Chain A
Amino acid sequence: MNILSLFVLIPVLTIIAILFTSNMKQTRIVSAIGMGIQLIVAGILVYMYLVERNAGNTAAMLFYYDAVWFPTLNIHYTIGVDGISVAMIALTAIVVFAGIFASWMVDFLYREFFISLILLASGVFGFFISLDIFTMFLFYEVAVIPMYLLIGIWGSGPKEYSAMKLTLMLMAGSALLFVAILGIYFYSAPAGGVLTFNLLEISKNTIPIEMQRFLFPFAFVGFGILGALFPFHTWSPDGHASAPTAVSMLHAGVLMKLGGYGAFRVAIYLMPEAAHEQAWIFIILTSISVVYGAFGAIAQKDLKYINAYSSVSHCGLVLFAILMMNQTAMNGAVIQMISHGLMTALFFALIGMIYGRTHTRLINEMGGLMKVIPFLGVVYVIAGLASLGLPGLSGFVAEMTIFVGAYQHTDTFHRVATIVATSSIVITAVYILRVVGILLLGPIKDDHFMHLKDAVWYEKLSTLTLLLSIAAIGMAPFWLSDMINFSLGPIIEKISGVTIAGLF
């Protein structure tokens, strides 16, 4: 049995096991064991991957497995991973594991909660292992739809509105994607031959340029909506603010990365000519995302909104880097996806824990929390520092790589865009430090806060898992970037083989 299929199988088995549990304790233990195994398998996968690569296996995709599903339409269940997918899978496993512990105390319809959460995770895992665009799309939608129930039932605030808005906007994105996928399929063999959904097969051919011009915006915007591309990001703040803790973690941490991953795996990889031509439009939009998101975060008072807008900014940076289409920037994009995934998951986990104690998320109602809940406070500061790009933590590695890569373009347009995007570093520092100052330092504003208890074991487990990963990437980024760099090779080769010049 292929190790990759386990990533879909384990969540499904866990869900089945949850159905047989009879009380809350059993449910969460089963979920924790299931996702713990998933994390271990992810670790084994990373190890096996590195061993294979060190042994000199240079195939583009490892652990390749292919089974025909619908022969008439040539739909396959094709799976395989390169360094980028392995990194994303590891990220997902970590975040899901932490998410289970962050929702340890969910008591309303707990069985349904964990089932939906793990179903969502299985969709994400399936997406990252798929090499067939059909199955990729299938898993993408599997990952999106449980969000509705998760936010609608267990959320807070205007949860019904947010859940509906999020689901419909993401589904509208998948509508765009759908057209792109069908277009790619019917032009996957322009010289005659069998039509295919297989990414690797399609990438060997060139889709006719007229079709690329038509399909690229569909594909890029389709994935871009999930990656919070301006002006389609509006689902993100509402959705994240209303979602329960673990869902925000998973959604901002992992699901939004589906957008970035898909944008280069499908949109740019398969349609490089159109990507070069139209990149300038999206570079402008993503630059706006980056700066606008950061300013948006400054203006917010609700902790979750602040973090949601900061996600818009950081995910915008991912798309921005992908559009630069060179090795360094794309490498940075992948590291940024991982780094932001861990960071934002940590943030949302902390916010959930703080909210569970103070029962408010408005920063001006809180203050001096560092004195009463020092563990959570310190972790919050570290997460904040990672977010604003302090060297030694993952954020610095990612942003540095992206901006160095982006600045490699010598023309004015790219340089101006880069400088604009770079300004977000400063703005990020403003909102992070402002929140830390108000929230954690200063006098304690409310007497009730005096009696708050610090983190308990499952909260510590959840946050420390994420924190260690962030520090690991920050201290030793080389193993990650080596893994990514090698796999970027074929992609960059395909993209840079393009002779068509863009407008800029």
Chain B
Amino acid sequence: MGINDFLTMRHELILTSVVLLVLIIDLNLKKSQKNRIIPIAISLFFIHTVIGFLPAQTGMLFGGMYHTDGLTILMKNILNVGVLIVLMQSVSWLKKDENSEKISEFFILLLSTLVGMNFMISSGDFLMLYLGLELATIPMAALAAYTHHQTRSAEAGIKLILSSALSSGILLFGLSLIYGSTGSIYFDTIGTLYSNAPMQVLAFIFFFTGMAFKISLVPFHLWTADVYEGSPVNVTSYFSVISKGASAFILIMVMYTVFHSIAYLWKDIVYLIAVMTMTIGNLFAIRQKNMKRFLAFSSIAQAGFIMLGIIGGNQIGMTATVYFVLVYIFSNLGAFGVISAISAKTGKESMDDYDGLYATNPKLTLLMMLSVFSLAGIPPVAGFFGKFFLFTSAASGGYYWLVFIAVLNATISLYYYLLVVKAMFINRSDSPIAFFKSDIVTRIGLMACALGIFVLGFWSQIYEFINSLTFGIIN
């Protein structure tokens, strides 16, 4: 195995070096200069993101444990872009005094989880998948507890680590059953051997449950709201966008490559889970007054929509899922970006605080409106196209009633998204959030979201490009 083979893992290698570089540079900075790590880390990650788009070689490593092709590279690039935006949006928050001691930790922890996600996406067997999953989860708990002097943040950290441990256990149990019944951990081999024997079905259910925890599908969603509310805003946006997107990528790939022979079985499960997730996520989101909690529940509902892409079982489904995640990253980060900008300046996170925001901060308000319209699936912004294609894929499998339930849920979600719009535009407030200007990096991050929300939908080449890489269930 020569150096060229190692370059197949370019994404992971560069990312790991970025993490190490940040660590080393931070060690050499004086206490008063710690702030400098912010531009350094972001520029390093920016370079990594750009390199990610250069043509890369594809292939397998370590006897099939690791594989990479156009699709996995695309997924990694999508995540990179999302993470870059998250990092840019966190600048004003990181610069606060309370964080000065631990700025580099934020980058190191966050990028380590991204390494884990990259390995997960590229995994060719369940061992690698599990390793990546753990790498993507454990630093996340530290991130959730980042502002550990606040009880809520510490609580979020411990809740996340406990529930992840439980779900990892369930997942691992499923994997051991799979190994026990097929004698292999490789995706390709298992894919050909899998049947509807009771133990194998059980193994699948355990596996799916473990993944459902990560994506926070109902009824495995209960940890989500508290963790999202307790964590710092930017960490929450990372959880609900990047981490969820990565898990959705892996889930759909494993469902399509490994468990395709029992597709007729898991389609029923996914159907039920999708209906429950959409409906319950939505009904809870209506009642939320804290913006983070509100977006947490709405992102549960969005995860339910993603299930509609998986259930189609064909290429349209996978394309729609990847495309939807891409659109979702931009729309949700737009919303979170506004929340984090406001939270960093004023510390306000309740929906009532947003009353009359349009009069004082029109640009932030417009971005927020675009984002929630995109999340609700209103044309002409990208969210409409994302939802349309997801629902198309479900309809292509003949699931018309599921589509109907989903569109009704989209209407319900429109209600609470409009509540935000109403607060900002219509409600009057005696003490609205005063006008403020965020720093330039944060603003670029916000503008990138606005641009993405507009362009991704109309620019059909993006959809076509994704479609050229995806696949459906091989029968």
Contact = CB atoms under 8 A, between A and B. Distances in A.
Interface stretch (A41-49, A164-172, A339-347): A164-172
Contacts of A153: 425-426
A148 B464 contact: no
Interface in B70-87: none
Contact of B464 (A70, A159, A172, A214): A70
Contacts of B396: 186
Given A73-B389, A148-B421, A172-B408, A182 B460 contact: no
Interface in A269-310: none
Interface in B390-438: 391-392, 395-396, 400, 403-404, 407-408, 410-411, 414-415, 418, 421-422, 425-426
B422 A152 contact: yes
A185 B392 contact: yes
Contacts of B378: 141, 145
A258 to B, nearest CB: 14
Interface in A129-164: 134, 138-139, 141-142, 145, 148-149, 152-153, 159-160, 164
Contact of A70 (B384, B418, B421, B463): B463
B98 to A, nearest CB: 38
A433 to B, nearest CB: 38
Given A153-B425, A171-B414, A182-B403, A73 B316 contact: yes
A470 B277 CA distance: 52
Nearest to A183: B400
A153 B403 CA distance: 33
Contacts of B415: 164, 168
Contacts of B379: 138-139, 141-142
Nearest to A141: B379
Contacts of B392: 73, 182, 185
B230 to A, nearest CB: 31
A182 B400 contact: yes
A175 B408 contact: yes
Nearest to B359: A109
Interface residues of A, number: 34
B411 A70 contact: no
A74 to B, nearest CB: 11
A178 B467 CA distance: 23
Contact of A145 (B373, B395, B410, B411): B373
Nearest to B427: A160
A69 interface: yes
Nearest to B468: A72
A176 B391 CA distance: 13
Given A70-B460, A182-B391, A164 B418 contact: yes
A153 B424 CA distance: 11
A179 interface: yes
Q: Which of B400, B415, B463 lies at the interface centre, i.e. has the most chain A CB atoms within 10 A of its CB?
A: B400
Contact of A72 (B408, B414, B418, B467): B467
Q: Is the interface of B mostly helix, strand, loop or mixed?
A: helix
B472 interface: no
Contacts of B395: 179, 182-183, 185-186
Contacts of B388: 134
B380 interface: yes
A172 B425 CA distance: 23
A117 to B, nearest CB: 15
A329 B388 CA distance: 35
Contacts of B418: 148, 164, 167
A71 interface: yes
Contacts of B460: 69-71, 75
A334 B256 CA distance: 50
Interface string B339-374: 000000000000000000000000000000000010
Contacts of B380: 138, 142
Given A160-B426, A168-B411, A182-B403, A72 B463 contact: yes
Contact of A138 (B384, B389, B391, B464): B384
Interface residues of B, number: 31
Contacts of A134: 388
Contact of B404 (A142, A152, A168, A179): A179
B258 to A, nearest CB: 25
A307 B378 CA distance: 30
A71 B464 contact: yes
A445 to B, nearest CB: 34
Interface in B238-268: none
B319 interface: yes
Given A175-B404, A182-B395, A167 B414 contact: yes
B405 to A, nearest CB: 9
Interface string A70-83: 11110100000000
Contacts of B467: 72
A197 to B, nearest CB: 10
A175 B407 contact: yes
Q: Which of B373, B379, B395, B425 lies at the interface centre, i.e. has the most chain A CB atoms within 10 A of its CB?
A: B379
Given A69-B460, A171-B411, A172-B411, A179 B400 contact: yes
Contacts of A171: 410-411, 414
Contacts of A164: 415, 418, 422
Nearest to B410: A175
A171 B379 CA distance: 12
B400 A152 contact: no
Nearest to A140: B379
Contacts of A185: 392, 395
Q: Which of A134, A145, A171 lies at the interface centre, i.e. has the most chain B CB atoms within 10 A of its CB?
A: A171
Contacts of B426: 152-153, 159-160
B339 to A, nearest CB: 21
Nearest to B401: A179
Nearest to B425: A153
A8 B251 CA distance: 41
Contacts of A141: 378-379, 384
Interface in A165-212: 167-168, 171-172, 174-176, 178-179, 182-183, 185-186
Contact of A149 (B414, B425, B464): B425
Nearest to A218: B404
B389 A168 contact: no
Contacts of A176: 404
Contacts of B373: 145
Given A70-B460, A142-B379, A182-B403, A175 B391 contact: no
A178 B464 contact: no
Interface string A368-394: 000000000000000000000000000
B411 A175 contact: yes
Given A172-B408, A182-B391, A72 B464 contact: yes
B467 to A, nearest CB: 5
B185 to A, nearest CB: 34
Given A168-B414, A168-B415, A178 B384 contact: no
Nearest to A149: B425
A174 B411 CA distance: 9
A41 to B, nearest CB: 22
Contact of B403 (A167, A168, A179): A179
Contacts of B464: 70-72
B386 to A, nearest CB: 13
B423 to A, nearest CB: 11
A501 B191 CA distance: 52
B429 to A, nearest CB: 15
Contacts of A70: 460, 463-464
14 contacts: A72-B463, A73-B389, A138-B380, A142-B379, A145-B373, A149-B421, A159-B426, A172-B411, A174-B407, A175-B408, A179-B395, A182-B403, A185-B392, A186-B395
Given A72-B464, A145-B378, 16 more contacts: A72-B316, A139-B379, A148-B421, A149-B425, A152-B425, A152-B426, A153-B425, A159-B426, A160-B426, A171-B410, A175-B404, A179-B395, A179-B403, A179-B407, A182-B400, A183-B400
Q: Name the 9 nearest CB pairs between A and B, nearest first.
A: A175-B407, A182-B395, A171-B411, A138-B379, A70-B460, A152-B426, A178-B407, A179-B404, A72-B467
